[in-house]
Amino acid sequence: MRKKLIFQITNVSYIKNYKLKIVFSDGHTSIVDFEEFICTSNNQDIIKYKNKKIFCRFNFKNGDLMWGDFEMIFPLIDLYKGKIN
């Protein structure tokens, strides 16, 4: 039986453009670029995050990274791997 990894986000910092540095409770760090996801979206809730001032209003709560009231949230495993879809 495979052991399930349990981790959460402990720190997030803005790097530049749409890139964030995400630190996890196990010490792992990922640099995640959200540009393609945001700039190719047709969803009105996501299009507004093209504005970098709004993009930088992210927060992390209970180990999750999110924008707004769950307008934009990603699976932790994707953030851990540094690649979102």
Q: Are 74 and 49 in contact (CB under 8 A)?
A: no
CATH of domain 9-81: 3.30.2020.10
CA gap 9, 78 in Å, rounded? 12
Count of beta carbons in the 10 Å neighbourhood of residue 13 = 9
What integer pLDDT is reported at residue 60 of this predicted model?
A: 86
Q: What is the pLDDT of residue 5?
A: 61
pLDDT digits (tens, 9 = 90+) for 5-60: 688 999 999 999 999 999 999 999 999 999 999 999 999 999 999 999 999 999 98
Q: What is the pLDDT of residue 2?
A: 56
Domains of the chain by residue range: 9-81
pLDDT the model gives residue 35: 97
Distance separating alpha carbons of residues 81 and 31, to the nearest angstrom: 9
User: pTM of the full predicted structure?
Assistant: 0.89
Which residues does 30 contact at the CB level (< 8 Å), separation at least 6? 21, 22, 24, 79, 80, 81, 82
Query: 50 with 38: CB under 8 angstroms?
Result: yes
